[in-house]
Amino acid sequence: MPGKIILEMRHICKKFPGVVALDDVDFQLYEGEVHVLLGENGAGKSTLIKIISGAYSKSSGAMILEGIPADIQSPGHALELGIGTIYQELNLVSQLTVAENIFLGREPVNKLGIIDSRQVIRNARNVLAALKVEIDPQARVVDLGIAQQQIVEILKAISMQMKILILDEPTSALTRQEIEKLFDTIRQLKEKGVGIIYISHRIEEIFEIGDRVTVLRDGRVVRTSSIDAVDSSDLIRLMVARELKEHFPKRKAMIGAEALRVEHLTRTDVLDDINFALQKGEILGITGLMGSGRTELARAIFGVDGIDSGNIYVNGKKWVIDSPRKAIEAGLGYMTEDRKLQGLILKLSVSKNISLPSLDRVSNLGIIMTDSEQQLAKRYIQELQIKTTGPDQLVQSLSGGNQQKVVIAKWLACQSDIFIFDEPTRGIDVAAKVEIYQLMNQLVARGASIIMISSELPEVIGMSDRILVMCHGRINGEFDPSNILQEELLKCGLGI
Amino acid sequence: MLLKDKMALNYKRQLGTLLGLIALIGIFWISTPYFLTVSNLLNITRQTSINAIIAIGMTFVIISGGIDLSVGSILAFAGVVTAGSLSAGVPIFFAIIIGMLLGFFCGAVNGLLIAWGHLPPFISTLGMMSIARGGALLFTGGRPISGFSQSFRVFAEGRFLSVPMPVFIMILLYILGHFILTRTKLGRYTYAMGGNEEAAVLSGIHVKLYKLFIYGISGMLSGLAAIILTARLNSAQPIAGIMYELDAIAATVIGGTSLMGGEGTLLGTLIGALIMGVLRNGLNIMGVSSFIQQTIIGAVIITAVLIDMMLKKRK
Ligand SMILES: Nc1ncnc2c1ncn2[C@@H]1O[C@H](COP(=O)(O)OP(=O)(O)OP(=O)(O)O)[C@@H](O)[C@H]1O
Ligand SMILES: [Mg+2]
C-alpha cells in the first residue's frame, strides 16, 4: 500500500431509533488510495461517510485523522480538516450559476470585501478546463441536467484541494464519457496523495478505479481486501450472502394487443414527430444520450408538459392527456428519474408515499381507511423487500436505494397497466436490481406493458423486447435486442 | 416499535409547547391568584376562540405550503355583510350563511389566483387583505352596524352544556379539523403538496383544485369567526380584525407548523392559540402596559420557534 494511514475509524456504532445502521465498524484509509465501500441498499455506506463528513454524529467509537483523535462536529468542521464530500443527493443552490456554486462560501473578494465575480468566473473556468468539462460557468444550475449538476458538485469538491475526498455514488447519473473524465480526475488526485472513499453500485467500475474494497452488510464490515484479491462474484457473494442467479432473468410473456400508441407527438424544440406503439406484455427500452429527449417524451405522454401536436391512444382509445391525473386515469404510471425532487414527499412516511396516487383505493367517501392503507404498504414493503423499520418510517430516513423502491411501490400499488420507468435501477444494488428486473417480468407476464428509459446499455439490451434510440428529440432507430451490440446503440444515439 | 418512536417524537414536540403553556399558567397563577379562577379560564378560552378558529384555516394553508394574510380583512367584510343582512331583516340562519359564503368566496378567489394565476400566496392574499377591507368600508360607509336580537347574540353569549358557545364551536371545529387533516384525502393532500408540490402533481393529485378549497376554507372560517365576534360585541366594525392574520400565523408556528410547509398539527395550533390567549389575559390582569405586552408576545413567538427548531436539528 502506498503512503501512510490518513484516516482510521475504530469500533464505530451508529444507532437510529429502531435501527442499528453501523455496528462496530473498523475502517482505514491510506494516502493516495481509492477505497471502495460496497454493500446492499441500506447496508450503512452513506451513514458511515456521513459520520466522517460530520453530517451525523456517531453513537460510539473513535476516529483518528492523521494520527490525532478527531471529533468532527459539523460538515463545516470536516471541510476545515480537509475532508470533502459529494453526497448521494445533490446539494447545489439551483438559482446560482455554476461558478457561484463551485466557490460558494469561498468567494474571492476585493479590498472592500465585495465579491470579485470576474475572478469567480475565471477560477471556475480553470477548474472546468482542468477536467476538460464543457459547461458554461455562467449557466444557472437549474438549467442543467442531472448529470451536469453532478459534475458541478464533483468540481466543487475537487476545487477545495482536500486531503480526503468522499464520493457517494457519483456516477449513477453520468454517461460513459463523463465517467471517464471523472476517473481521470480521480487518478490525478491519487497522484497528489489524496485519500478517496468511493461508493458505487456498479461493480465493473470498482475494478477500474479501486485499490481496496470494504464490504458492508447490515451495518457490519464483512471483509476488507485488496481489489486484486477478489473478483466480482466474490464481492456479490459477500454483499448479499447468497448466490445471484441470472443477471437478466428471462421471461415468458405473451406479446398481446396494442396498449399504447403515440402518433406525431411534437413539442417545439424538444420532441420532433415521435411515433411508436407499445404492446401488452412488452418491455420497450428507450435509450439515448442525456438530453436526447427521453425524459421529455415520458413527461409529455404522462401529461406533465403540454404538447404542441400529436395523438395518444391507450388500448385503442384516443386520450387527451393534459395532466398526470388524466394519465393515471388512463392506466399509466410514471416513475421519475429524480426521486427526491419529483417522486417522493420526504417528510411523509413510507406508507403515505406508497398510497399517494391510489388513495381512492384505500378510502371511502374521502376518509382514509388506515388499516387498508397500512396493509397496502406492508404488502409492497414485503414484495420489494424495502429495508425499513415499518410503514410509518419517514421516507427521508431511508437509504437512497430504498427510497427508489418506495417510488416503484407507489406505482405498483396504483395498479397501472402501462408503466414508464425512467432509470429504474439508478442507485440500486446488484441484488435489488435483479429483483426489480424480475418484478418487471412479473408485470408484463400479467399483461402490463413497460417503457423503460435507461442509460445502462447492458440493461436495455438484457431487458427489452424492442429498443428505441433517441437523439435530438427524435427517434433515431429501432433495434431488436437479440442481435445488437452496445456500440451500435451508442452510435445511433450520437446520430452517426 | 417504530410507530411508538415516531409518535413519541411527534408528541414530544407538542409536549414541549404544552409544557410551555402550563408553565405560563403557573407563572400567572403565582402572580395573581385570580388568574386561575373558573370565570377567568372561561374568559381566556372565550377570548382565544376567535383566533383559534381562524388559525385552523391558517394551519391548513401553511401546511399546504402557503400563507393567508387576508383573514383579518375577510373577517371584517363578512362581519359587516352579515350584520347588514340582519339589519335588513334577513333571517339569522341565512345571514350567517351569507357571511360564511362571502368568506369562502374571498378565500376561493385567493386560491384561484394562486393555483391558476401562479401568484405567490403572499402577494395574492396581501391584495385580498386590502380588497376585503375596502369592501367592508364601502359596505358600511365606514360606520359600524350595531344592535342585534338576543337570538343572534346567542353565538357569543349562549352556553351549551354550560360551555360558552364560542368555545363549544371552537372545540367542535378542532375535532373536525383534526379528523380532516389526519384521516381524509383532503388532509393527506394538504401535507403532500406542502411537502413536495411537484411530486404531488405527478402522483395525480389535482393540486389546483385542492388549493382553491383550502384557501376557501380559510376564508370561510374567518366568516364564522366574524359572526362570533359580531355577536359578542353586538356590533360589526369595518375596521375589525386588524392584525388577526399575524395572531393566527403566530398560533400556528408556535404550535410547531413549519412555514416551509409539509408538516404541522392542529393540536399544536390549539396550544399555540391558548399560549397567546393566556399571555394576553395574564399580562392584562397583572396590569402590564400594552406596550410591554407587545414586546413580550413577540419574544415568546421567537423563543417558541427557536426551541422547536433546536429540537428538530442534528441527528
Ligand atoms: N436519519 C435516519 N434515521 C433513521 N434511520 C436512518 C437514517 N439514516 C439512515 N437510516 C437507516 O440506516 C440504514 C443504513 O442506511 P444508509 O443510508 O447508510 O444505507 P446505504 O448503504 O447508503 O444504502 P444505499 O445504497 O441505498 O444508498 C438504513 O436502514 C436506513 O434506513
Ligand atoms: Mg447511500
* Structural domains in chain A plus CATH codes: 5-240 (3.40.50.300), 258-494 (3.40.50.300)
Are B195 and A347 inside 8 Å of each other by CB?
Answer: yes
Distances from the Cα of A356 to the Cα of A241, A363, A372, B49, angstroms = 34, 11, 13, 34
pLDDT at B12: 65
pLDDT at A115: 83
| pLDDT at residue B68 is higher than 70 | yes
pLDDT at A141: 87
pLDDT at A337: 84
- Using an 8 Å CB-CB cutoff, list chain A residues near B314: 56-57, 74
CA–CA–CA angle A54, B9, A219 (5° rounding): 45
- Per-residue model confidence as pLDDT tens digits over B240-258: 999 999 999 999 999 989 8
Using pLDDT thresholds of 50, 70 and 90, give the confidence band for residue B39.
confident
Question: Smallest Cβ distance to B263: which of A344, A347, A393?
Answer: A347
- Counted across chains A and B, CB pairs separated by less than 8 A come out at 100
Let me know: does A36 contact A199? Beta carbons within 8 Å: yes
Let me know: does B248 contact B54? Beta carbons within 8 Å: yes
From the list A266, A278, A263, the residue with the least C-alpha distance to A474 is: A266
Domain boundaries, chain B: 37-314
pLDDT at A243: 63
Let me know: does A195 contact A49? Beta carbons within 8 Å: no
- A47 pocket-lining for ligand 1 (C-beta < 6 Å): yes
The residue that leads in pLDDT, A161 or B106, is B106
Query: CA of A69, closest CA in chain B: separation in Å?
Result: 22
Closest-CA residue of A relative to B185 is: A366
From the list A483, A480, A481, A478, the residue with the least C-alpha distance to A492 is: A478
- Using an 8 Å CB-CB cutoff, list chain A residues near B184: 363, 366-368
- Using an 8 Å CB-CB cutoff, list chain B residues near A16: 315
Q: What angle do helix axes A232-240 and A430-445 make, rounded to 10 degrees?
A: 80
Question: Smallest Cβ distance to B198: which of A16, A329, A342?
Answer: A342
pLDDT at A112: 79
Q: What sign for the dihedral angle of Cα A67, A73, A78, A81?
A: negative
Residue B158 CB burial class (10 angstroms; 0-12, 13-18, ≥19):
middle
List Cβ<8 Å contacts ≥24 apart for B116-122.
B116/B208, B121/B61, B121/B66, B121/B67, B121/B68, B122/B67, B122/B69
- A170 pocket-lining for ligand 1 (C-beta < 6 Å): no
Query: Cβ atoms within 10 A of the Cβ of B277, count?
Result: 23
Parallel, antiparallel, or unpaired for β A332-335 and A418-422? parallel
| pLDDT at residue B157 is higher than 50 | yes
Query: Cβ atoms within 10 A of the Cβ of A115, count?
Result: 13
- B315 pocket-lining for ligand 1 (C-beta < 6 Å): yes
Q: What angle do helix axes B165-183 and B150-157 make, rounded to 10 degrees?
A: 60
Give the mutation target among A14, A19, A56 for probing the ligand 1 site: most ligand atoms within 8 A of CB: A19
Whose alpha carbon is nearest atom 12 of ligand 1? A21
Q: What CATH architecture does domain B37-314 belong to?
A: Orthogonal Bundle (1.10)
Are A341 and B188 inside 8 Å of each other by CB?
Answer: no
Closest-CA residue of A relative to B204 is: A325
Q: DSSP letter for A347, please.
A: T
- pTM here? 0.85
Are B199 and A344 inside 8 Å of each other by CB?
Answer: yes
- A200 pocket-lining for ligand 1 (C-beta < 6 Å): no
- A43 pocket-lining for ligand 1 (C-beta < 6 Å): yes
Closest-CA residue of B relative to A324 is: B204
List, in sequence order, every beta strand (DSSP E) within A159-316.
164-168, 195-199, 212-217, 220-226, 258-267, 271-279, 283-288, 309-314
| pLDDT at residue B5 is higher than 60 | no
Question: Smallest Cβ distance to B204: which of A341, A345, A357?
Answer: A357
Question: Smallest Cβ distance to A56: which of B3, B198, B315?
Answer: B315
From the list B314, B279, B258, B310, the residue with the least C-alpha distance to B12 is: B310
Are A390 and B186 inside 8 Å of each other by CB?
Answer: no
Ligand 1 atom nearest residue A393's Cα = 4
Closest-CA residue of B relative to A303 is: B202
pLDDT at B18: 87
**Looking at chain A, how many residues does it have?**
496
Q: What is the largest CA-CA distance in chain A?
A: 73
Ligand 1 atom nearest residue B315's Cα = 1
From the list A429, A432, A420, the residue with the least C-alpha distance to A342 is: A420
What is the C-alpha separation between A355 and A339, in angstroms, rounded? 16
3-state class (DSSP) for residue A56: coil
- A398 pocket-lining for ligand 1 (C-beta < 6 Å): yes
Ligand nearest the Cα of residue A12 is 1
Please give the full DSSP string across B66-109, using - where no structure is assigned: -----HHHHHHHHHHHHHHHHHTT--HHHHHHHHHHHHHHHHHH
| pLDDT at residue B9 is higher than 60 | no
What is the C-alpha separation between A401 and A392, in angstroms, rounded? 18
Query: Cβ atoms within 10 A of the Cβ of A184, count?
Result: 13
Are A336 and B262 inside 8 Å of each other by CB?
Answer: no
Ligand 1 atom nearest residue A429's Cα = 25
| pLDDT at residue B2 is higher than 70 | no
The residue that leads in pLDDT, A109 or B237, is B237
Ligand nearest the Cα of residue A49 is 1
Half-sphere exposure of A25 (CA within 13 A, CB side): 33
Ligand nearest the Cα of residue A406 is 1
Q: What is the block-wise mean pLDDT of chain A (496 residues), using blocks of 10 residues?
A: 83 88 94 92 91 91 92 87 83 86 82 83 87 84 79 82 87 76 85 91 88 93 92 85 68 83 92 93 90 90 92 94 94 87 91 94 92 94 90 90 89 91 85 85 90 90 92 90 82 78
Closest-CA residue of B relative to A414 is: B203
